[in-house]
Structure 1
Amino acid sequence: MELRQLQTFLTIAKQASFTKAAQDLGYAQSTVTSQIQTLEEELGTMLFERLGRQIKLTKDGENLCAYAAQILALANEAKDLVANSTVPKGTLTIGTAESLCTYRLPELFQAFRARCPKVEISLRFDICSDYRTHLRKNTVDIVFFLDVPCEEADLVTHVLFEEPMAVIASPDHPLTRQKRVGPQDIHGQALILTDLGCSYRRVFESILAQAGAKPSSVLGVSSNEVIKRFVGDGWGIGFLPRVTVEQELKNGQLAALVWAGPPFAIKAQLIYHKEKWLSPALRTFIELTLARLGNGISII
């Protein structure tokens, strides 16, 4: 059963004439007759009674009329929907780090909402090591990431900017009085860090390990706010993106140690799977992100 057969059937029923239907549809009358014969053979019934030049719907023909009209209406609706799919809509599921979401992305989200009001944003917070898995399982559309540059063949990575990091302590911590603090100075200190699996915790611990610096203890905390509170109360040394502690540094609640060790080279990145279909909503979001945060580079 083809859509064109149903359209021909409905036109004949409306005009009560094969000849007029052929004229309306721009077909040869033989084509109209052939389509109806094929449809009747497929359905195993007669759709029209033919009495000389008079035609009339059979009972089966009357029953088919309602369904044919609904089928064609749905087909047209689907066609219109697909034809208008360039209008961004739907839901974007975005994985992101807490610090990026809180301090770097609000204006971007606001701009995107203004441009694409029909798109719903769903944010997902998880540990950094899980985001690649989510991309590969297609449980998130895109990820904002803090790490050394990601170079994996199945992922598309846009490096947006370098994220300055801060080694922090309470203002009265002895290391705040040193002009320079290197990895060896962290040896024997208590650390208050993000959870295992966090990319920048991994970078910091790797630098310490390469220098042979062993902390006395490490407390993993999932909340930046809790880390700042514990560090400020003198529980140990912390390591966070500097943007997350700027206010506390200004207020004297925390102190940034003068880091003299290897650079951290933590980059804010936008990552998605190379086989991910870039819907209009997703493409618009990526292009807006790159324009605002990525020096105007564009999608290849």
Structure 2
Amino acid sequence: MKRADELIEGTVTIGCGEFTVVETLAQICKSFKEKYPLVQIAIHTATADSVYEMMEKGLVDIGLYMEPVDTEGLEYIRIPDSDHWVVSMCPDDPLAEKEYVGKQDLLDKPLIIPERIGVQSELANWFGKDFDKIQISFTSNLGTNAGIMVANGLGYQVSIEGAAKYWREDLLVQRRLYPPITVNTVIAWRRNIPNSQAVNKFIEEINACQAYDSI
């Protein structure tokens, strides 16, 4: 006979961006699916603002957000320093020979930066007084299409590493910014609402991973 847990059914809907911490999410999902194989997991890839809006409407059960994000009304765990800012470029670009990329390297380059204003503020702090001098050629709400622009010689993508690290190195390479910018990510769910049994079990899995230092 099957254990009662194995008979739990339903869907857990997750909204997230293109983050390195999605690798942690995959570990959580793997452990969860081993216990609850009948539960389907639906993943929606979107910006933090879109995921937040979907969560407010009850369309998403679990959200992954890159800070800064409004956590009012949410239960969450924070994963500190879970991503780094990088510059993506073609592998034959002179900047690819450098170990790190500084702001002076970028002032005369066409840049592709994130569309989200809160995230642009992180870049503004890094560039300091030179932010007004940068050439913003494109903005993009997610990294994949921005990477295609880079591969076609249209600019340098400045983004978090998770948005770029899975490109083939013969197409794009990444170099971290220096001084470095690290990013905190949160895994969140709405506070004080009735969830399905499947969602409650998934939240338990998130907390269990945190308790055992898997995150």
Same fold (TM over 0.5): yes
Which AA in structure 2 matches 1:134?
M
Kindly provide the CA deviation profile for residues 79-99 of structure 1, in whole angstroms up to 9, marking residues without a partner as x.
xxxxx89x6432222111144
Instruction: Kindly state the Cα deviation for residue 177 of structure 1 after the two structures are TM-superposed.
Output: 4.7
Which AA in structure 1 matches 2:59?
T
Secondary structure of the structure 2 residue equivalent to 1:212: helix
Q: What does residue 140 of structure 2 align with? A: 221
The counterpart of 2:112, out of the listed 187, 192, 203, is 192
Q: What does residue 296 of structure 1 align with? A: 212
1:24-173 correspondence to structure 2 within 5 Å: 88-99=8-19, 103-148=23-68, 150=69, 152-161=71-80, 162-173=82-93
Instruction: Kindly state the Cα deviation for residue 277 of structure 1 after the two structures are TM-superposed.
Output: 2.8
Contact 2:19–2:83 (CA under 8 A) maintained in structure 1: no
Instruction: Kindly state the Cα deviation for residue 159 of structure 1 after the two structures are TM-superposed.
Output: 1.1
Give the helix-richer structure, 1 or 2.
1
The counterpart of 1:274, out of the listed 178, 181, 191, is 191
The counterpart of 2:130, out of the listed 212, 236, 240, is 212
Kindly provide the CA deviation profile for residues 120-151 of structure 1, in whole angstroms up to 9, marking residues without a partner as x.
22222322113223323322211012224x46
Give the strand-richer structure, 1 or 2.
2
Instruction: Kindly state the Cα deviation for residue 107 of structure 1 after the two structures are TM-superposed.
Output: 4.0
CA–CA distance in structure 1, aligned partners of residues 158 and 211 of structure 2 = 27
Contact 1:184–1:211 (CA under 8 A) maintained in structure 2: no
Which AA in structure 2 matches 1:296?
Y
Which AA in structure 1 matches 2:13?
T
CA–CA distance in structure 1, aligned partners of residues 155 and 113 of structure 2 = 9
CA–CA distance in structure 2, aligned partners of residues 101 and 181 of structure 1 = 23
User: What root-mean-square deviation, in Å, do the aligned CA atoms of Structure 1 and Structure 2 show?
Assistant: 3.3
Which AA in structure 1 matches 2:212?
G
Instruction: Kindly state the Cα deviation for residue 271 of structure 1 after the two structures are TM-superposed.
Output: 0.9
Query: Is the counterpart of residue 181 in structure 1 residue 104 in structure 2?
Result: no
Instruction: Kindly state the Cα deviation for residue 288 of structure 1 after the two structures are TM-superposed.
Output: 1.9
Secondary structure of the structure 2 residue equivalent to 1:269: strand
Q: May I ask how many residue pairs the two structures share in their alignment?
A: 207
Gaps of 5+ in 1: 1-83
Contact 1:221–1:227 (CA under 8 A) maintained in structure 2: yes
Provide TM-score, normalisation by structure 2: 0.75
Which AA in structure 2 matches 1:119?
V
Gaps of 5+ in 2: none
Kindly provide the CA deviation profile for residues 8-54 of structure 1, in whole angstroms up to 9, marking residues without a partner as x.
xxxxxxxxxxxxxxxxxxxxxxxxxxxxxxxxxxxxxxxxxxxxxxx
Kindly provide the CA deviation profile for residues 37-83 of structure 1, in whole angstroms up to 9, marking residues without a partner as x.
xxxxxxxxxxxxxxxxxxxxxxxxxxxxxxxxxxxxxxxxxxxxxxx
CA–CA distance in structure 1, aligned partners of residues 117 and 212 of structure 2 = 28
CA–CA distance in structure 2, aligned partners of residues 243 and 89 of structure 1 = 31
Q: Which has the higher contact order (CA 8 A, sep 6+)?
A: 2
Secondary structure of the structure 2 residue equivalent to 1:277: coil
Secondary structure of the structure 2 residue equivalent to 1:131: helix
CA–CA distance in structure 2, aligned partners of residues 124 and 296 of structure 1 = 27
Instruction: Kindly state the Cα deviation for residue 265 of structure 1 after the two structures are TM-superposed.
Output: 2.7
